[in-house]
Amino acid sequence: MTDTARTATPTAAAFDIQAGSAQDPYNREHQIFPKLSANQLERALAYGREEAPEAGSYLFERGQRGVDFFICLEGAIEIVAHKDQADADDNTEEVITVHGPSQFTGELDLFNDRKILVDGRVRPGTRVIRVTREDFPQLVSAETDIGELVMRAFILRRTGFLVHDQAGATLAGPKNDGDALRITRFLRRNGYPLRVVDTDDPDQAEAFFADHPTARDKLPVLIHTGNACLSNPSNHEVANALGLTEDLDPDHIYDVAVVGAGPAGLAAATYAASEGLDTVVIEQEAPGGQAGTSSKIENYLGFPTGISGQALAGRAWIQAQKFGARFAISRAIVDMDCDNRPYALQLECGQRIVTRSVIIASGARYRQLSLDNYDKYEGQGIHYAATAIEARLCHDKEVIVVGGGNSAGQAAIFLSHHARHVHILVRSKNLAASMSDYLIQRIDSSARITLHTETEITELHGDPLLDQVTWHDKANGKSETRDIGNIFVMIGAVPNSDWLEGCLDRDGKGFVQTGEDCQGNATTSPYATSRPGIYAVGDVRAGSVKRVASGVGEGSVVIASVHQYLAEEASRAQPA
């Protein structure tokens, strides 16, 4: 690794790791760049073949998909990242590390079919073991000790890219710009390395525009491979340009399609894939769902010190890929043909996925406030997540959290470590009915959090950005206007189920009803919908408990019903 003395960046802060600190992955060399033993090398060779590539040749190059896995036997392999012009310092590349004898190449993109982020260049006298992409999953699965080393190293290598802003893209725009924040959130939540240039900062802006003069009138802009420039791209365009999407065969028939990659969907995908089902996951935004925006979950079993929603989702996402689940990221479903089997799912990008069974885990989203100018401030003053990305906008400022559930409580406590003061606004008389006791106690004991009961926002002010908020206290009949530019809205749940109109039975609020078929008869699975082979789990299901743990439980349990359904369908297909 070069340049380990870099200062902390917004990316590093987002992962709560300082570049150059003891937690920096590049300071854990024995884990991030481990060496295989002689015995492990001998066993690995059974899954591949020896080669002696030509010096200076490339084993793989940035932007390729489905590259092979290499173990160095002699010589060395340079891992090279490319810089954009503003970072170049007359060098357009950075050698991140050099793999010597007994070390191996690769990072997380070897578990999926995304475009890879780096080059692998051969030094003189190099001899390698090549394990093809097709044989790589068998190696890490069958040789568990090797698989454990590889998995840990791959996770740390991607974390290193994220902490040091390496091998990714550059986003330039004003710090509070709604579209710049949207793109940042999208890439951070999808684990893609990103360097952010704040064009409101004269020093950062001068260096950037010196190398990208035409970008000044196109903000926000995303600079990616070969200094290609995208002006205010949609999330879908970002995913396509950076290769976050995977190419799916429209003629392939999957055993199960999981719609949504929140806790319930990720659990369903992990258990389905680990039990041999051909699995695809369709996610409109990023792994984690609503839970992925939580700064810390402290009552999830097995994590006594808590874990962020993004970290929990990231681990589950990697786990599902390890077992072979495919992911279609930034792909929204617009329609499902539920009258014919196998079922066909139509995506907004024009892709079509055919599957024998469907697990609906599309979750829910927070409701919006009914206020004038509300849409104007969404994404640049009004937020639905409280992570490190939003926290840096609130440093030493007053903020508002609207909502009385656990997500609102977690957000308030997290933001109190960054903001000057946090105001929680709820319509009810207290939090006892909607929030866990441990969160209520922390809120009560914090000098930087004030709870305002029977209070609601009545007006928003500011042009072009939100800078004042008026709220009304029903108990005393008084209104108050404060200089506040950031509101975190976490109220209620609206199911992401519009695409199911006319297909499945839903309740009056749009949640998918389960437990009864189309004739009103009880089903064998509590997660079965009114259509055979289609199941609903997690927050989108009517009557579900809106908790991460319950979503994970439902997602894992439903796979038994999927197995039973597929077995019955296969039996019916057999000739008499």
Place 149 in a pLDDT band, splitting at 50, 70 and 90.
very high
Q: What domains sit in the chain, N to C, each tagged with a CATH number?
A: 10-163 (2.60.120.10), 169-242 (3.40.30.10), 253-364+495-504+514-573 (3.50.50.60), 374-489 (3.50.50.60)
Residues 372-426 pLDDT 10s: 999 999 988 999 989 888 998 999 999 999 999 999 999 999 999 999 999 999 9
Place 349 in a pLDDT band, splitting at 50, 70 and 90.
confident
Above 80 in pLDDT, residue 318? Answer: yes
Between residues 564 and 87, which one has the greater pLDDT? 564
Between residues 6 and 175, which one has the greater pLDDT? 175
Q: Which of 4, 48, 59 is nearest to 26 (CA)?
A: 4
pLDDT at 85: 60
- Alpha-carbon 52 to chain mean position: 38
Above 80 in pLDDT, residue 525? Answer: yes
Mean pLDDT confidence for 430-446: 94
Between CA 304 and CA 291 the distance in angstroms is 18
Would you say the C-alpha torsion 293, 186, 283, 147 has a positive or negative sign?
A: negative
Determine the 3-state secondary structure of 315 from DSSP: helix
Place 227 in a pLDDT band, splitting at 50, 70 and 90.
confident
- Return mean pLDDT, the chain: 91
Above 50 in pLDDT, residue 153? Answer: yes
Above 50 in pLDDT, residue 10? Answer: no
Highest mean pLDDT (candidates 3-7, 245-249, 433-437, 531-535): 531-535
Between CA 336 and CA 135 the distance in angstroms is 34
Between CA 539 and CA 361 the distance in angstroms is 7
Half-sphere exposure of residue 316: CA atoms within 13 angstroms, side-chain side: 31
Q: Which of 246-250, 364-368, 395-399, 409-413 has the lowest mean pLDDT?
A: 246-250
Place 125 in a pLDDT band, splitting at 50, 70 and 90.
very high
**Containing H/E element for 56?**
none
Residues 458-480 pLDDT 10s: 999 999 899 999 999 999 999 99
pLDDT at 565: 97
Q: Which residues contact 339 (CB under 8 A, 6 or more apart)?
A: none
Determine the 3-state secondary structure of 506 from DSSP: strand
Please state the pTM of the whole predicted model: 0.89
Q: Which of 358, 315, 290 is nearest to 551 (CA)?
A: 290
Q: Which of 454-463, 477-486, 489-498 has the lowest mean pLDDT?
A: 489-498
pLDDT at 93: 87
Above 50 in pLDDT, residue 7? Answer: no
DSSP class per residue in 320-360: HHHTT-EEEET--EEEEE-SSSSEEEEETTS-EEEEEEEEE
pLDDT at 516: 87
Mean pLDDT confidence for 250-269: 96
Above 50 in pLDDT, residue 13? Answer: no
Mean pLDDT confidence for 325-337: 92
What DSSP character marks residue 500?
G
